[in-house]
Amino acid sequence: MLESLQNEQVKYVVSLQRRKAREEAQLFVVEGWRFVEEAVRRNALLKKVYVCQEHEPLEWQPLQKMLHERSIPFEEVNERVLRKMSSTEEPQGILAVVRQTNNSWSEIQIDRHSVLLILDGIQDPGNLGTILRTALASGVRYVCLTPGTVDLYNPKVLRSTMGALFSLVLLLGKQPEDILDFCRERGLSVLMGDIQGGSVYRTVLPEGPLALVVGNEGKGPSPSFRSADVQCVTIPMANDVESLNVAIATGILLYEIVRQRDFL
């Protein structure tokens, strides 16, 4: 059992709460029983699990069995060590160190039903995490994040995804021009959420694979997307409401795509 706050393992996990350390190590930390279980169930690349005996609920025995079956190492820690490692004020009793994935264009397999979600400069961690969870629920598998988007492995982003990131193919730091080139080469029609667009409810979506661009909370999509040959769509709003939260808006747009295509 780890009991010392000065233990090198403890210090290392604590360091992974900082973006620079995460990027250098290509690792990140997930916390909580449900999240760790999702990571195991969805075959995430877990390096090690740390569990506190004082918090062991009924979930531990079946989870421990899965860890044994998949040869994932785990170690017990005391309450003080767990609190030191954790990014939350009231840790649930378990956390795991997970390897970051490095997906590439070659892992995107396009067919006529494919939807590629492009997140362009999303800044709020809660928004990004909620969008990723909603995307997976709506049938999306592929997501591109442009430079300037909040760190995917920020603890607040991770908590908001509820484990959805483990089932998505995520391409990070992709330039808008490269994304548009990929869409042209692979025959994806590009839609962009924009206040100047036509009503998404009255827009007949093109057949075949689609890409949906969703922009920054304040500025919207970047000039590279605005100047491209894309189809702009907007969500009509009543009662003089000027805008919606970007995570809500993305969910509406994605499920309108689902409604028109009826492929869930």
Q: Are 122 and 131 in contact (CB under 8 A)?
A: yes
**Residue 34's CB: how many other CB atoms inside 10 A?**
14
Q: Are 121 and 127 in contact (CB under 8 A)?
A: no
Over its C-alpha atoms, the chain yields an Rg (Å, rounded) of 20
Q: Any idea which residue has 């994605």 for tokens?
A: 254
What pLDDT score was predicted for residue 242? 81
Length of the chain: 264
Boundary-marking domain end, from 99, 128, 145? 99
What pLDDT score was predicted for residue 263? 65
Provide the domain count of the chain: 2
Query: Which strands, in side-by-side order, build the sheet including 46-52?
Result: 27-31, 94-99, 46-52, 74-77
Query: Does 51 map to a domain?
Result: yes
Q: Structural domain of residue 86, as residue ranges?
A: 8-99
Identify the burial level of 82 via C-beta atoms within 10 angstroms of its C-beta, where 0-12 means exposed, 13-18 middle and 19 or more buried. Answer: buried
Same domain flag for 154 and 184: yes
What pLDDT score was predicted for residue 56? 66
Q: What is the mean pLDDT of each run of 10 residues along the chain (264 residues)?
A: 93 96 97 92 94 78 92 94 91 94 93 96 97 97 97 95 94 97 96 92 92 94 92 92 91 96 71
Same domain flag for 85 and 112: no
What pLDDT score was predicted for residue 37? 92
